[in-house]
Amino acid sequence: MSKEAKKLSNLQIHSILTLNLNPMPVILPVNGKHPQFGNNNFIAPNATVVGDVVMGDDCSVWFNTVIRGDVNFIRMGNKVNVQDGACIHCTFQKCGTTIGNNVSIGHNAIVHGCTLEDNVLVGMGAIIMDKAIVHSNTLIAAGAVVLENTICDPCSIYAGVPAKKVKDIPQDMIKGEINRIADNYIKYASWFKDVTVESEQ
């Protein structure tokens, strides 16, 4: 390899490393509607938030997540965490997605065109479909599939495919799981504030 080619190769490598070390989230308007954010939110560098999305305070949107308000609205309350790889979407001309306060959406979950009320925990890999309603203080177990139009009772645990109520949620689990996880994600997000990645010159 010539010296010129080697210099070009090193420059390309440095550029790629710089881009990879300093990524930015994708935040885009759709049809003139821009995402709106409250205070003290964390959006991970490779997360995507587009369109008619309104987010409250103390929310966190983690790595590789997609919140896609292109075909309908997405509304999120305060203290909502959307964990790695999760997807929130909606259905064109039919149903938006509404998420209350103090809600945790687990890794790789799909929340689509539905309503999650306050104090809800959606387990890892769970799917919640159009026009479903998950009432407050309810836990959707990992891997569960909540079918279209399902109404999940308050203070309950749902599991399985399709998801069915398996039991009432104990009061200590509301505090020990639903509230604990939501609170922890505010703490986790704080670890990323003012973090800069220095690339070797």
Average pLDDT over residues 136-145: 98
Kindly report which listed range (13-17, 122-126, 138-142) carries the lowest average pLDDT score: 13-17
Domain-located, residue 69: yes
Query: Which of 64-84 are b and which e, b meaning 16 or more Cβ less than 10 Å from the residue's Cβ?
Result: ebbbbbbbbebbbbbbbbbbb
Q: By residue range, what is the domain housing residue 163?
A: 25-190
Domain-located, residue 88: yes
pLDDT category of residue 9 using cuts at 50, 70 and 90: very low
CA distance 26 to 179: 29
Number of H helices, E strands in the chain: 3, 19
Domain-located, residue 195: no
pLDDT above 70: residue 91: yes
Domains in the chain, number = 1
Report helix, strand or coil for 158: strand
Domain-located, residue 92: yes
pLDDT category of residue 130 using cuts at 50, 70 and 90: very high
Domain-located, residue 31: yes
pLDDT category of residue 124 using cuts at 50, 70 and 90: very high
Residues 6 or more apart whose Cβ sits within 8 Å of residue 108: 84, 85, 86, 124, 125
Domain-located, residue 20: no
Query: pTM for the complete prediction?
Result: 0.86
pLDDT at res. 10: 41
pLDDT at res. 7: 38
pLDDT above 50: residue 15: no
CATH number of the domain enclosing 52 = 2.160.10.10
Tell me the backbone φ, ψ of residue 128, rounded to 5 degrees.
-125, 120
pLDDT category of residue 4 using cuts at 50, 70 and 90: very low
pLDDT at res. 22: 59
Distance from first CA to last CA of the chain, Å, rounded? 23
On the 0-12 / 13-18 / 19+ scale of CB atoms within 10 A, 27 is middle
Domain-located, residue 127: yes
pLDDT at res. 23: 75
Average pLDDT over residues 98-110: 98
Domain-located, residue 2: no
